[in-house]
Amino acid sequence: DAGITQSPRHKVTETGTPVTLRCHQTENHRYMYWYRQDPGHGLRLIHYSYGVKDTDKGEVSDGYSVSRSKTEDFLLTLESATSSQTSVYFCAISESRVTAGASDTQYFGPGTRLTVL
């Protein structure tokens, strides 16, 4: 199994407070992704990173920011949490050994269940 951990695993917070979720990998993979999972929507991409300090927005990026200061850590921040951000958040990583034109398999962390009251 890919070495991916997420912290915290569960969090309850109040509307308007800042929240930071951490994804840590031990695989030295270049690509990292944050998704959220909601009933009826599957998983949707929030932000992704293609290298240290290289990040970009995904499909549902409003209200979220990310940072990647080193290969192993990818942080997701909710600047001011809202109830609509109650969700399960998954981090994923993928290898970069293949050349352009290919796509590596993404492996997922265990998830973080966030509740915003």
Q: Which residues would be at the binding site for other proteins (CB under 8 A)?
A: 31, 33, 35, 40-45, 48, 50, 56, 58, 88, 90, 92, 94, 98, 100-108, 110-111
Q: Considering the complex, state which of residue 15 and residue 103 has its C-beta at the smaller distance from other proteins.
A: 103
Which C-beta is closer to other proteins: that of 33 or that of 78? 33
Q: Tell me whether residue 85 or residue 94 sits nearer to other proteins (CB atom).
A: 94
Q: Give the separation between CA 117 and CA 106, rounded to whole angstroms.
A: 31
Beta-carbon neighbour count of residue 108 at 10 Å? 15
Residue indicated by tokens 């600047």: 79
11 token code pair: 């969090």
DSSP, collapsed to helix, strand or coil, labels residue 47 as strand
Q: What is the rounded distance in angstroms from the CA atom of residue 54 to the CA atom of residue 64?
A: 16
**Min separation Cβ 19 and other proteins, Å:** 20
CB of 16 to other proteins, least distance (A): 28
| Rounded least distance, CB 73 to other proteins, Å | 18
Shortest separation between residue 80's beta carbon and other proteins, angstroms:
26
Residue closer to other proteins by CB (options 63, 107) is: 107
3-state secondary structure of 104: coil
Question: In sequence order, what are the beta bridge partners of 61?
Answer: none
